[in-house]
Each structure stands twice: as C-alpha cells, then as structure tokens.
Chains A and B, each alone.
Chain A
Amino acid sequence: MSLLTDTGAVFVRDTRSKLRTPWPYMESMADPLLLLMLFGPLVAALGGIPGIPAGNTMQWFVPGMLVLMVFTTSAFIGAGFQEERGSGALERMLVTPVNRFALLAGRVLRVVVVVVIQAAVVALATVPFGLRLPPIATPLALLQLAVLAAALGTVSLAVGLALKSSYAFWGVVSLVYTPIVVTSGALLPMELAPGWLFAISRVNPLAHAVEGQRALFAADVTSTAALLGFAVPLLFGLVGAVLGTQSMRRVRV
C-alpha cells in the first residue's frame, strides 16, 4: 500500500530534520509550564469565577495549557512546507511517484507524535503540583489532543499550500492568532464572555478542544463536551484534508 509506506517515508524524513533542532518543541513545552506557574496562581487567587470549579485550579487550568501547546506545535507547520516549496525540495518530491496525500500525511503524523509526547511530559510534570490523571480519561485526553494536532496540522498545510507567499501565511496567522487563543477559553473561562464573544468561541475548534479536555480531566468521559472535543476538531481536520488534497493535486512549484 503506497499511501502507508509513502507516509512513513515522509514521516521519517520530516522527523529527522525537525528533531535535530528540537528547541521549538522544548519551547512550546516550557510555555504551558510557565503559564501554569505564573498565570495559574493569579487564576487561583481570583477564586470563585463562574466556570472554574472551586478547589483544584490545576484540573481546570492544565487542559487549556495542553491545547495551547498543541496549537503552537501544529498550527504553523504550513510555513515550513512553504519553505520547502520555495526551495526546490517540494519539486524534487513531486517528480517522484510518491503519493501526494502522503506528502501531507507524513508531516501531520510527525506533529501528532510530537504532541502526544509533549502532552504526556507536561501532564506528568504537573502531577506534583496537584494534577490528577484519571485512569481511562487520560489516554482518551491524549487521543483527543492527537486528533486536534492532526486537524490543526492539516489545515495549516492546506493554508500554506493555498497561500504561496510566507508573508501571506504569517499575515493570516497574526490575524487569527489572538481571537483563536482568547476565545479558546484556555486562559479564562468563556462563561465570563458576553454573548457575542461566546458565539465566536463556538466556531473556534480550540474552544471545543479545551472544553473536551477539561471534561476528560474531570473523568467525565461520556459528557457532550468530551464528545464535541473529538467531533469538532475531526470535522475541521476533514475539511482541511479535502482542501489540502485538492491543492496538492494542483500544486505547481
């Protein structure tokens, strides 16, 4: 099956190059830990905010941090793809019979693997600070983060393909970055938001992921939030996959 072996070959190549300079990944793991240390106490000190269950702030705060970490690791890989396209590297792959979808899938697989490792490390690192890891829900939470990473990575690649210039790519990123992070509810609960802002958060896949993660870390496996945390990113990723594959077929270097 050429899709699988090709995806594997793309994955190996991509992983080798990225893991040789792992600093961005260290950084994106340090990010949530720093927020946890610096922002966590502030949230805890506020006390009694609607949306944050009283008592264990960690259990509420860490899931949001994990989602933000997934976001920084996977949402910008489209830029790297653009770089390969700008150099002759993509062209040299396109002259081979390699499966076009595998060129995307191998790269997405790489961020999925990275994200799962990162999330496991961060979650374990916060256990001493009071995070509980519910037995069945925790692996499910990791799986949900993997789905989110795949979705964000796919859409990022699709956007990177659609926009030929890296200026356009980073322009789009800086335009959507703040709204996406704020309305994800990772830092402060969206229950605090006025109606219009809450409405925006409903179309933000990150918001559903954050709520899904919180439900899972509360061991609430069968809740709607946990389900939407899977379904919304999945849908988002599928749209990205369709668009990405279409532009991959038409891609000119």
Chain B
Amino acid sequence: MIHTTGLARRFHSGRQTVHAVRGVDIDVAPGEVVGLLGPNGAGKSTTLRMLTTLLAPTAGSATVAGYDIRTDPLAVRRRIGSIGQGNGSFDGLRTREELQAQGRFYGLDRHTARRRADELLQRLQLSGQADRDVAKLSGGQRRRLDVAMGLIHRPPLLFLDEPSAGLDPHSRSNLWEHVTGMRAEHGTTIVMTTHYLEEVDAAAQRVIIIDHGRIIAEGTPDQLKSKVSGDLVTVELADPGDRSAAATIAAGIPTAHEVAPGRDAVSFRVSHGDTVTPEIVRALDAAGIRLRGTQVQRPTLDDVFLSLTGRSLREDHG
C-alpha cells in the first residue's frame, strides 16, 4: 500500500536548514494499521505530508496506493483519505455542507455526496449536528467530522495525524471506536501518528518509532517492548529493613537489571517478569523476608523510546 525509499525533506528557514525527515524507508501492507511514534518535531507530520502529496520530498521516492507521489499525485489523492493535524471544517459552514462539499471535491456527484454524507453523519453520531454551524460543535464532534471528510470517497488508505490531540478521554475513545469500526468493516489501511501511547498500543499492529527524522525502531508493540527493556517487577516489603537483603536476592536472578531498592520496596527489570515473580517470592521466603505484595508491569512504548534514546516521549507532551 505504501513503499518509500530514502524519503527525505529539508526546510530552509532563513539561513538555517532543517532536516525534518532524513531518509525513511517505510513499507505498509494492505489492511495494516501502522502508528508513527516520536517526540514533537521528530518529522511525523512532514512524513505524512509527503505521503499525502501536500509536500514534495527533497530526496527519495514513494509510491502510495500504487502511484508515485511525484509523478502522479492526482491518482494518489483519489485513493487516500487524510485527516490533518488541524480541523478541516471552516467556521460559518454547517456540518453537512462541509461534508458534502468534501465529497464534491473528491468528484462525487451531488446526489452521491449527499447520500454518503448522511450515511457518515449517522455512523459517526453527527446526525443531530448536521445543520449546525461547525463552529458550534464540540472538539470531539468536530474531529469526527474530520474523520467523515476523510472517508467520504471510501479510500482504501487513511492517514490520521494526531487525530485525538486535545480531546478528553471520553471523546478520544469514542473517536477510536469509530475509526476501528470503519476499519473492521472496510479493511481500510491506516497510518496514524499520535501523542497518546496507549492509543498506538491499542490500535496499531505495527509501530514505527521516529526520532530526528530517522526511523530508530519498528515492529509490533510487543516485539518492541520485549526487544528492549524487560518487565518491571516490584516486590513490596513488609519490613523496610529487609530492602538491601531483598535487593541482593533480586540481583541474583538471571537477566535481572536496574535493581532499585525503594523505601519499602525493591524493583528491577527482568525478561519474562511473570515467570520470574514466583521464583523471587520463593527465594525471599526462603531468606525469611516477608512480603506485602508483588507487581509486574509490562514495559510501555515510552520505556522503549527511553531505552533507545535516553529521553522520554512524555517529556515534551503539553
């Protein structure tokens, strides 16, 4: 569905050159859901803008939905839907009008545009808002209208740039319900970026981690997590005085690392935390150390990014 080689883009602002994207190779198979993950300024939007023909690459090549983005942008545009970082509807127009207009821009005749607009409004629970000025919609409703505008021509490939940024958790999960519902029905290929790690985790089959315009890792969320850190195991001690003894025992477990004695707990990273937990419980028990409880935390994608770059993805979230 997507194939890029060495796709790159630089910007000149004043005397400075910004290398926003430094040669990325991306392959996306039909039906896949791929998440682009990376801190602010990593080059995610720039990558999407090249793939959606909004921006010409300065190097490299890409075929999207079967067509070259440089030589046949029109064919690409006909086959993709794209939901940009900002809201696509404009104040002063009504919900249905904007959706219908978008259908017309995709070349649908008036009748089809109207019919599909009504269908999508229904699907995305916007029927009640059909004749309202888009300025009066809530953030979640307005974003769902954006999704509807990206789907009006039934594209096989959909790009979403931070679709849920700025939404409250309820609207976010509602939006995703709709997006994943559409996908289940039509098998739409999806490429998305998001700030919310849980969303990539839940929705994406494959994650591409981008930093400073380069791909630094990719794989399924589980692959990424197991490749880098390990699970975080925490044993809570009944007696804080036992912590150094407990830490020594924990350090003795194969593959255990980052052993960190806390005030009344000891945590460490280890591969296969689930099977290790009974082991350490037995060992501590044998040493006469009493426990209050244990916890196993699977690594998050943020841990993955942290271990790859030494920086947290969450730092620059605002």
Contact = CB atoms under 8 A, between A and B. Distances in A.
Given A9-B101, A13-B97, A88 B87 contact: yes
A2 interface: yes
B90 A17 contact: yes
A178 interface: no
A89 interface: yes
A177 B34 CA distance: 52
B52 interface: yes
Contact of B102 (A6, A12, A21, A92): A92
B93 A13 contact: yes
Contacts of B82: 92, 95
Contacts of B293: none
A17 B93 contact: yes
A252 B152 CA distance: 23
Interface in B66-98: 74, 77-78, 80-82, 84-94, 97-98
Contacts of B236: none
B152 to A, nearest CB: 9
Interface stretch (B104-112, B225-233, B240-248): B104-112
B90 A89 contact: yes
A91 B94 CA distance: 18
Interface residues of B, number: 31
Contacts, number: 80
B52 A95 contact: yes
A9 B77 contact: no
Given A6-B105, A12-B101, A94 B146 contact: no
Interface centre among A5, A84, A94 (most CB of B within 10 A): A94
B74 A92 contact: no
A17 B135 CA distance: 12
B87 A97 contact: no
Contact of A252 (B55, B91, B93): B55
Contacts of B107: 2, 5, 97
A206 to B, nearest CB: 29
Contact of B92 (A5, A17, A94, A97): A17
B149 A92 contact: yes
Interface in A72-95: 83-84, 87-89, 91-95
Interface in A14-31: 16-18, 20-21
B105 A253 contact: no
A75 to B, nearest CB: 20
A103 to B, nearest CB: 9
B86 A91 contact: yes
B18 interface: no
A208 B268 CA distance: 83
Contacts of A5: 104, 107
A16 B133 CA distance: 11
A19 B74 CA distance: 32
B54 interface: yes
Given A92-B149, A96-B77, A253-B54, A87 B90 contact: yes
Given A2-B107, A9-B104, A17-B92, A94 B54 contact: yes
A91 to B, nearest CB: 5
Contact of B87 (A87, A96, A98, A252): A87
Interface of A: 2, 5-6, 9-10, 12-13, 16-18, 20-21, 83-84, 87-89, 91-98, 252-253
Given A88-B146, A92-B82, 15 more contacts: A5-B107, A12-B101, A13-B101, A16-B93, A17-B90, A18-B92, A83-B90, A89-B87, A91-B54, A91-B88, A92-B84, A95-B82, A96-B102, A97-B107, A252-B54
User: Lowest 9 A-B CB distances belong to which pairs?
Assistant: A92-B88, A88-B86, A9-B104, A98-B105, A96-B105, A89-B90, A95-B82, A17-B92, A13-B101
26 contacts: A2-B107, A5-B107, A6-B104, A9-B101, A9-B105, A10-B105, A16-B97, A17-B90, A17-B97, A18-B92, A20-B92, A87-B91, A88-B85, A89-B88, A92-B102, A92-B146, A93-B102, A93-B105, A95-B84, A96-B77, A97-B74, A97-B78, A97-B107, A98-B105, A98-B106, A253-B54
